[in-house]
Structure 1
């Protein structure tokens, strides 16, 4: 037991910590983001940019197969977890003290020339050693399998997604520029906590959207000889997910399927994974009159 004089000495600091870092969200009645009719009382418990997007890729190769980087069989891969404002606009690189993206895209906070420059990170991979430091080997292994980059090491993609998107979720704030510290003073390093928290959140929300399975249940499988109508793909995912997602295509006629974005409102923190599906707010860019190609993976690019 601590001596009385020691307890008296630390009480003021404890009171200060409690008053500034009181973010026990279990004690706060959760509300759906973007559905509040009054000011959010604790932005650590409800995101201010509350239009939450769970985004995925369908790539056919990684570009680093010779280095052992291949795509997971029978699964789409993770793109990210994004915070849009409730009007569909969004912020990016909102906390430059947590900028770990080696190739910022865009290279300013606004994406325009008058925005604050986002300086490239030159310190290498911080996520792999961080997860190893805290024994998060299962999380790291899952990310290495399902969160794949194209033509660059996976960690560069993870750090891009954290720096560009996670820092704009108020529920991961760490006290930058007068924002709350959602992790309190009990953690030695709130930045490390926010990174691990975000990575966990990405996985927790992604596994709720098994895109490959939903499409295959409707007979929509990767093929190099059979194309699909956009409404076939859209309807299959809408029925299974509960709302109409955005589908992204590329190519000169926008016929090659490559992305899906699932829109939602979050009940409380996105960390908790309680998402209410809502229809896309951005119109899918895929061709509506010509077949959509959901190509097979390149030989040697999948395991």
Structure 2
């Protein structure tokens, strides 16, 4: 495999005018999503996305949701339900997979624990990759099965002779590296933005803080009456758009340059945004 140092995902090789090998850089735009779990307890419909007890335990910080490979125009693989494909009985709490059912599984933390060289990954999953319902195993298995299997540079062909889970382990390690690279709360704090149950911010302020810290605007997701044009709304996720470069490194970039509908903000730009410190008192989940 040839992988020149100048390779960038979603760009043709300027020398050959051809796509790069998938094991060099994936032909994808990436979204790295981080949850703000306290904000996820606020929702007009019931139940909320996350338990108050989980949000309170995590506190006012961002944890990982996932590293998502989109197509180069911002579209993405649709969810496939896999009872038959995975040989699961009806009624089974089966996972979703994206592009390769043969590499999809539900027992992520069991697979990790069985590998002596990678067992430590379960510790940081339980710290930084937290599911709103408390089932971290399901969340990580879901993220790998739905998104990791759709990422060319994590394919089996990129890990010859390294076993069936090499791409999965690399997906976890790379995701953690990106999480450490993108400290959203530090970026907000530097811009004078701090969690509070009463202080409010605008969508423009949050996007500007992201751009100042990482060189590109991010996308903000909110819970509340965002679609109805009334407040309040609560920050629940931050998305950072990335391009892949060699050695599975990810560089923030302005995805607005691809097209007008690639970057998605669910926060309403006319409603003040709260970054709460207290889970919703109305949430009984």
Task: Flag whether TM exceeds 0.5 (same fold).
Answer: yes
Question: Would the aligned equivalents of 1:265 and 1:278 in 2 still touch at CA under 8 Å?
Answer: no
1:287 to 254, 263, 268: 268
Q: 1-side partners of 2:158 and 2:270: how far apart?
A: 48
Flag structure 2 segments of 5+ consecutive residues without an equivalent: 42-49, 228-232, 257-261, 281-285
Q: 2-side partners of 1:151 and 1:99: how far apart?
A: 26
Q: Hey, what does 1:251 align to over in structure 2?
A: 224
Using a 3 Å threshold, how does the CA distance of structure 1 residues 138 and 260 change in structure 2: closer, same or farther? same
Using a 3 Å threshold, how does the CA distance of structure 1 residues 295 and 64 change in structure 2: closer, same or farther? closer
Structure 1 position 263 matched with structure 2 position 236: no
Using a 3 Å threshold, how does the CA distance of structure 1 residues 202 and 131 change in structure 2: closer, same or farther? farther
**CA RMSD, Structure 1 to Structure 2 (Å):** 3.3
CA deviation map 1:232-282 (0-9, x unaligned)? 11111111111011111121236211111101211125x3x2424224532
Question: Would the aligned equivalents of 1:63 and 1:151 in 2 still touch at CA under 8 Å?
Answer: yes
Superposed counterparts of 1:1-303, under 5 Å:
23=1, 28-37=4-13, 38-48=17-27, 50-60=28-38, 62-63=50-51, 65=53, 71-73=57-59, 75-92=61-78, 102-104=93-95, 125-174=107-156, 181-184=157-160, 186-187=161-162, 189=163, 191-253=164-226, 255-269=233-247, 271=248, 273-280=249-256, 281-298=262-279
Secondary structure, counterpart of 2:25 in structure 1: coil
Q: Hey, what does 1:3 align to over in structure 2?
A: none
Q: 2-side partners of 1:46 and 1:124: how far apart?
A: 27
Using a 3 Å threshold, how does the CA distance of structure 1 residues 91 and 99 change in structure 2: closer, same or farther? farther
Using a 3 Å threshold, how does the CA distance of structure 1 residues 283 and 129 change in structure 2: closer, same or farther? closer
Question: Would the aligned equivalents of 1:32 and 1:268 in 2 still touch at CA under 8 Å?
Answer: yes
Secondary structure, counterpart of 2:165 in structure 1: helix
Shift of 1:220: 1.2
Q: Which moved more, 1:85-94 or 1:219-228?
A: 85-94
Using a 3 Å threshold, how does the CA distance of structure 1 residues 98 and 57 change in structure 2: closer, same or farther? farther
Flag structure 1 segments of 5+ consecutive residues without an equivalent: 1-22, 111-115, 175-180
Larger Rg: 1
Secondary structure, counterpart of 1:258 in structure 2: strand
Q: Which moved more, 1:71-80 or 1:196-205?
A: 71-80
TM-score by length of structure 1 reads 0.72
Q: Hey, what does 1:5 align to over in structure 2?
A: none
Secondary structure, counterpart of 1:221 in structure 2: coil
